[in-house]
Structure 1
Protein backbone atom coordinates (compact mmCIF):
# COMPACT_ATOMS: atom_id res chain seq x y z
CA UNK A 1 0.00 0.00 0.00
CA UNK A 2 1.53 3.31 -1.08
CA UNK A 3 2.33 5.85 1.58
CA UNK A 4 1.32 9.50 1.40
CA UNK A 5 4.88 10.33 0.40
CA UNK A 6 4.82 7.86 -2.48
CA UNK A 7 1.46 9.24 -3.66
CA UNK A 8 2.84 12.78 -3.60
CA UNK A 9 5.90 11.73 -5.60
CA UNK A 10 3.70 9.93 -8.11
CA UNK A 11 1.49 13.02 -8.44
CA UNK A 12 4.53 15.26 -8.92
CA UNK A 13 5.91 12.93 -11.58
CA UNK A 14 2.56 12.90 -13.39
CA UNK A 15 2.43 16.73 -13.26
CA UNK A 16 5.98 16.87 -14.61
CA UNK A 17 5.11 14.50 -17.46
CA UNK A 18 2.03 16.58 -18.38
CA UNK A 19 4.17 19.73 -18.35
CA UNK A 20 6.76 18.14 -20.65
CA UNK A 21 4.04 16.97 -23.03
CA UNK A 22 2.51 20.47 -23.10
CA UNK A 23 5.93 22.01 -23.75
CA UNK A 24 6.55 19.60 -26.64
CA UNK A 25 3.11 20.42 -28.05
CA UNK A 26 3.82 24.15 -27.78
CA UNK A 27 7.15 23.69 -29.58
CA UNK A 28 5.41 21.78 -32.38
CA UNK A 29 2.70 24.46 -32.64
CA UNK A 30 5.32 27.23 -32.85
CA UNK A 31 7.42 25.36 -35.42
CA UNK A 32 4.34 24.81 -37.60
CA UNK A 33 3.54 28.53 -37.91
CA UNK A 34 3.82 29.81 -41.45
CA UNK A 35 2.38 33.09 -42.66
CA UNK A 36 2.06 34.10 -46.30
CA UNK A 37 1.78 37.53 -47.88
CA UNK A 38 1.02 38.30 -51.54
CA UNK A 39 1.42 41.40 -53.65
CA UNK A 40 -1.80 43.06 -54.81
CA UNK A 41 -1.31 41.77 -58.34
CA UNK A 42 -0.47 38.27 -57.09
CA UNK A 43 2.89 38.14 -58.88
CA UNK A 44 4.95 37.90 -55.69
CA UNK A 45 4.25 35.67 -52.69
CA UNK A 46 6.40 35.03 -49.64
CA UNK A 47 6.05 32.68 -46.70
CA UNK A 48 7.83 33.10 -43.38
CA UNK A 49 8.15 31.04 -40.22
CA UNK A 50 7.35 31.95 -36.62
CA UNK A 51 10.43 34.15 -36.18
CA UNK A 52 10.09 35.84 -39.55
CA UNK A 53 12.60 33.61 -41.32
CA UNK A 54 11.90 33.50 -45.04
CA UNK A 55 10.75 30.01 -46.01
CA UNK A 56 9.53 30.48 -49.56
CA UNK A 57 9.36 33.04 -52.36
CA UNK A 58 7.04 32.40 -55.29
CA UNK A 59 7.33 34.63 -58.35
CA UNK A 60 5.03 34.71 -61.35
CA UNK A 61 6.69 33.90 -64.67
CA UNK A 62 6.25 37.47 -65.90
CA UNK A 63 7.39 39.24 -62.72
CA UNK A 64 10.73 40.22 -64.29
CA UNK A 65 8.89 41.92 -67.15
CA UNK A 66 6.63 43.88 -64.79
CA UNK A 67 9.02 44.85 -61.98
CA UNK A 68 12.53 46.21 -62.07
CA UNK A 69 15.00 44.37 -59.80
CA UNK A 70 14.90 47.10 -57.13
CA UNK A 71 11.09 47.07 -57.16
CA UNK A 72 11.03 43.29 -56.86
CA UNK A 73 13.49 43.36 -53.97
CA UNK A 74 11.47 46.05 -52.18
CA UNK A 75 8.26 44.08 -52.72
CA UNK A 76 9.80 40.91 -51.30
CA UNK A 77 11.14 42.81 -48.27
CA UNK A 78 7.78 44.51 -47.65
CA UNK A 79 5.81 41.29 -47.97
CA UNK A 80 8.29 39.48 -45.71
CA UNK A 81 7.81 42.15 -43.04
CA UNK A 82 4.02 41.85 -43.28
CA UNK A 83 4.13 38.07 -43.04
CA UNK A 84 6.64 38.23 -40.16
CA UNK A 85 4.31 40.49 -38.17
CA UNK A 86 1.43 38.07 -38.71
CA UNK A 87 3.63 35.11 -37.73
CA UNK A 88 4.78 36.90 -34.57
CA UNK A 89 1.14 37.56 -33.62
CA UNK A 90 0.30 33.88 -34.11
CA UNK A 91 3.33 32.82 -32.06
CA UNK A 92 2.25 35.20 -29.29
CA UNK A 93 -1.21 33.63 -29.36
CA UNK A 94 0.27 30.14 -29.00
CA UNK A 95 2.42 31.22 -26.07
CA UNK A 96 -0.39 33.16 -24.39
CA UNK A 97 -2.20 29.86 -23.85
CA UNK A 98 0.61 28.42 -21.74
CA UNK A 99 2.08 31.45 -19.98
CA UNK A 100 1.00 32.60 -16.53
CA UNK A 101 -1.72 35.26 -16.45
CA UNK A 102 -0.35 38.75 -16.92
CA UNK A 103 2.73 37.62 -18.87
CA UNK A 104 3.20 39.38 -22.21
CA UNK A 105 4.09 36.76 -24.83
CA UNK A 106 5.40 39.43 -27.22
CA UNK A 107 8.06 40.42 -24.70
CA UNK A 108 9.04 36.78 -24.37
CA UNK A 109 9.35 36.51 -28.16
CA UNK A 110 11.93 39.25 -28.30
CA UNK A 111 10.26 42.48 -27.32
CA UNK A 112 11.75 45.07 -24.98
CA UNK A 113 10.67 46.12 -21.53
CA UNK A 114 9.27 49.36 -22.95
CA UNK A 115 6.79 47.32 -25.00
CA UNK A 116 8.52 47.80 -28.35
CA UNK A 117 8.94 44.61 -30.34
CA UNK A 118 12.41 43.74 -31.49
CA UNK A 119 13.31 44.87 -34.98
CA UNK A 120 14.02 41.26 -35.94
CA UNK A 121 10.37 40.41 -35.45
CA UNK A 122 9.21 43.47 -37.34
CA UNK A 123 11.89 43.31 -40.05
CA UNK A 124 12.56 47.00 -39.66
CA UNK A 125 15.52 48.62 -41.34
CA UNK A 126 18.64 49.14 -39.29
CA UNK A 127 20.93 52.07 -40.08
CA UNK A 128 23.58 51.30 -42.65
CA UNK A 129 26.96 53.03 -42.64
CA UNK A 130 27.96 53.61 -46.27
CA UNK A 131 31.56 54.31 -45.20
CA UNK A 132 32.16 50.80 -43.85
CA UNK A 133 35.20 49.03 -45.22
CA UNK A 134 34.44 46.61 -48.04
CA UNK A 135 36.10 43.65 -46.31
CA UNK A 136 33.87 43.85 -43.23
CA UNK A 137 31.91 40.70 -42.41
CA UNK A 138 28.16 41.20 -42.93
CA UNK A 139 27.15 37.59 -42.28
CA UNK A 140 25.25 38.50 -39.10
CA UNK A 141 23.06 40.99 -40.96
CA UNK A 142 20.02 40.29 -43.05
CA UNK A 143 19.29 42.03 -46.32
CA UNK A 144 15.61 41.74 -45.38
CA UNK A 145 16.17 44.13 -42.49
CA UNK A 146 17.56 46.91 -44.66
CA UNK A 147 15.39 49.43 -46.43
CA UNK A 148 15.43 49.24 -50.27
CA UNK A 149 16.99 52.70 -50.56
CA UNK A 150 19.92 51.72 -48.33
CA UNK A 151 20.75 48.68 -50.53
CA UNK A 152 21.25 50.60 -53.75
Structure 2
Protein backbone atom coordinates (compact mmCIF):
# COMPACT_ATOMS: atom_id res chain seq x y z
CA UNK A 1 0.00 0.00 0.00
CA UNK A 2 1.43 3.33 -1.04
CA UNK A 3 1.01 6.53 0.93
CA UNK A 4 -0.80 9.34 -0.76
CA UNK A 5 1.04 12.56 -1.46
CA UNK A 6 -1.12 14.35 1.13
CA UNK A 7 -0.13 11.80 3.79
CA UNK A 8 3.56 12.17 2.94
CA UNK A 9 3.30 15.96 3.10
CA UNK A 10 1.51 15.81 6.46
CA UNK A 11 4.16 13.48 7.90
CA UNK A 12 6.98 15.61 6.50
CA UNK A 13 5.44 18.75 8.05
CA UNK A 14 5.04 16.99 11.40
CA UNK A 15 8.69 15.91 11.26
CA UNK A 16 9.71 19.48 10.42
CA UNK A 17 7.80 20.80 13.44
CA UNK A 18 9.40 18.16 15.67
CA UNK A 19 12.82 19.17 14.34
CA UNK A 20 12.11 22.88 14.97
CA UNK A 21 11.08 22.09 18.54
CA UNK A 22 14.22 19.98 19.06
CA UNK A 23 16.39 22.81 17.71
CA UNK A 24 14.74 25.19 20.16
CA UNK A 25 15.41 22.80 23.06
CA UNK A 26 19.03 22.26 21.99
CA UNK A 27 19.54 26.00 21.67
CA UNK A 28 18.13 26.60 25.13
CA UNK A 29 20.34 23.87 26.62
CA UNK A 30 23.43 25.33 24.93
CA UNK A 31 22.73 28.90 26.11
CA UNK A 32 23.93 27.88 29.55
CA UNK A 33 26.88 25.74 28.51
CA UNK A 34 30.47 26.49 29.38
CA UNK A 35 33.83 24.76 29.46
CA UNK A 36 36.62 25.23 31.96
CA UNK A 37 40.12 24.18 30.92
CA UNK A 38 43.59 24.44 32.46
CA UNK A 39 46.64 25.01 30.35
CA UNK A 40 49.08 22.12 30.01
CA UNK A 41 51.53 23.84 32.32
CA UNK A 42 48.69 24.23 34.88
CA UNK A 43 49.37 27.96 35.31
CA UNK A 44 46.08 29.22 33.84
CA UNK A 45 42.46 28.16 34.01
CA UNK A 46 39.89 29.68 31.69
CA UNK A 47 36.15 29.36 31.38
CA UNK A 48 34.50 29.93 28.03
CA UNK A 49 30.80 30.56 27.50
CA UNK A 50 28.42 29.24 24.85
CA UNK A 51 29.56 31.64 22.14
CA UNK A 52 33.25 31.09 22.78
CA UNK A 53 33.56 34.19 24.94
CA UNK A 54 35.99 34.21 27.85
CA UNK A 55 33.92 34.30 31.05
CA UNK A 56 36.55 33.38 33.62
CA UNK A 57 40.30 33.54 34.05
CA UNK A 58 42.22 32.33 37.09
CA UNK A 59 45.83 31.62 37.92
CA UNK A 60 45.80 28.56 40.20
CA UNK A 61 48.50 28.44 42.85
CA UNK A 62 50.18 31.53 41.35
CA UNK A 63 52.27 29.32 39.06
CA UNK A 64 52.60 32.22 36.63
CA UNK A 65 55.05 34.04 38.93
CA UNK A 66 58.20 32.99 37.11
CA UNK A 67 56.75 33.19 33.62
CA UNK A 68 57.53 35.81 31.02
CA UNK A 69 54.71 37.76 29.41
CA UNK A 70 54.79 35.72 26.19
CA UNK A 71 54.75 32.47 28.16
CA UNK A 72 51.74 33.57 30.20
CA UNK A 73 49.97 34.82 27.09
CA UNK A 74 50.58 31.49 25.36
CA UNK A 75 49.13 29.61 28.34
CA UNK A 76 46.00 31.78 28.30
CA UNK A 77 45.59 31.29 24.54
CA UNK A 78 46.18 27.54 24.77
CA UNK A 79 43.56 27.04 27.47
CA UNK A 80 41.01 29.34 25.82
CA UNK A 81 41.49 27.69 22.43
CA UNK A 82 40.89 24.25 23.95
CA UNK A 83 37.81 25.46 25.81
CA UNK A 84 36.42 27.05 22.64
CA UNK A 85 37.05 23.79 20.75
CA UNK A 86 35.15 21.82 23.39
CA UNK A 87 32.19 24.21 23.27
CA UNK A 88 32.14 23.96 19.46
CA UNK A 89 32.16 20.15 19.68
CA UNK A 90 29.30 20.24 22.16
CA UNK A 91 27.25 22.41 19.78
CA UNK A 92 27.99 20.12 16.83
CA UNK A 93 27.01 17.04 18.87
CA UNK A 94 23.76 18.67 19.96
CA UNK A 95 22.73 19.60 16.42
CA UNK A 96 24.09 16.59 14.48
CA UNK A 97 20.94 14.45 14.88
CA UNK A 98 18.82 17.34 13.64
CA UNK A 99 20.62 17.80 10.34
CA UNK A 100 19.69 14.48 8.72
CA UNK A 101 17.10 14.09 5.97
CA UNK A 102 13.41 14.07 6.76
CA UNK A 103 12.46 10.36 6.68
CA UNK A 104 9.15 11.30 5.04
CA UNK A 105 10.86 13.30 2.28
CA UNK A 106 14.33 11.74 1.90
CA UNK A 107 14.73 13.19 -1.58
CA UNK A 108 15.03 16.63 0.02
CA UNK A 109 18.27 15.56 1.73
CA UNK A 110 19.60 16.74 5.06
CA UNK A 111 20.87 20.11 6.17
CA UNK A 112 24.52 20.72 5.36
CA UNK A 113 26.22 22.86 7.97
CA UNK A 114 29.65 24.33 7.39
CA UNK A 115 30.97 24.03 10.96
CA UNK A 116 34.37 25.44 9.92
CA UNK A 117 32.69 28.63 8.74
CA UNK A 118 30.68 28.91 11.96
CA UNK A 119 33.45 28.13 14.43
CA UNK A 120 36.58 28.94 12.43
CA UNK A 121 39.78 28.35 14.34
CA UNK A 122 37.95 26.99 17.40
CA UNK A 123 37.72 23.59 15.70
CA UNK A 124 41.43 23.42 14.99
CA UNK A 125 42.41 24.42 18.51
CA UNK A 126 43.06 28.02 17.49
CA UNK A 127 45.82 27.15 15.05
CA UNK A 128 45.86 29.67 12.25
CA UNK A 129 48.30 30.16 9.49
CA UNK A 130 49.87 33.52 8.95
CA UNK A 131 52.77 35.73 9.83
CA UNK A 132 54.22 36.09 13.26
CA UNK A 133 55.37 33.81 15.96
CA UNK A 134 53.42 30.57 16.14
CA UNK A 135 51.53 29.58 19.26
CA UNK A 136 53.12 26.15 19.06
CA UNK A 137 56.55 27.70 19.51
CA UNK A 138 55.29 29.70 22.50
CA UNK A 139 53.76 26.56 23.97
CA UNK A 140 57.09 24.78 23.53
CA UNK A 141 58.79 27.57 25.48
CA UNK A 142 56.29 27.18 28.28
CA UNK A 143 56.76 23.47 28.78
CA UNK A 144 60.28 22.79 27.56
CA UNK A 145 61.66 22.63 31.10
CA UNK A 146 58.64 20.95 32.63
CA UNK A 147 58.63 17.19 32.04
CA UNK A 148 55.83 16.60 34.53
CA UNK A 149 53.08 18.17 32.44
CA UNK A 150 49.70 16.60 31.75
CA UNK A 151 47.83 17.54 28.59
CA UNK A 152 45.17 20.24 29.07
CA UNK A 153 41.89 19.11 30.45
CA UNK A 154 39.27 19.86 33.00
CA UNK A 155 40.55 20.99 36.33
Secondary structure in 2 matching 1:43: coil
Q: Which 10-residue stretch deviates more, 48-57 or 73-82?
A: 48-57
- Tell me if structure 2 keeps the 8 A contact 1:110–1:121: yes
TM-score of the two chains, using structure 1 as the length reference:
0.57
Distance apart, 1:94 and its partner CA:
0.3
Identify the structure with bigger relative contact order (alpha carbons < 8 Å, sequence gap 6+). Answer: 2
- Tell me if structure 2 keeps the 8 A contact 1:33–1:91: no
Distance apart, 1:77 and its partner CA:
0.6
RMSD of equivalent CA atoms: 4.0
Q: Describe the superposition over 1:3-51 as per-residue Cα deviations: whole angstroms up to 9, x where unpaired.
A: xxxxxxx999976764443222121123233222113453310122344
Distance apart, 1:60 and its partner CA:
2.8
- Which structure 2 residue ranges, 5 or more long, are not aligned? 1-9, 102-108, 139-155
Q: Distance in 2 between matches of 1:50 and 1:85?
A: 11
Equivalent positions of 1:2-151 (< 5 A) are 18-40=18-40, 42-60=42-60, 62-100=62-100, 107-111=113-117, 118-122=120-124, 123-128=126-131, 147=135
TM-score of the two chains, using structure 2 as the length reference:
0.56
Q: Distance in 1 between matches of 2:130 and 2:21?
A: 43
Secondary structure in 2 matching 1:100: coil
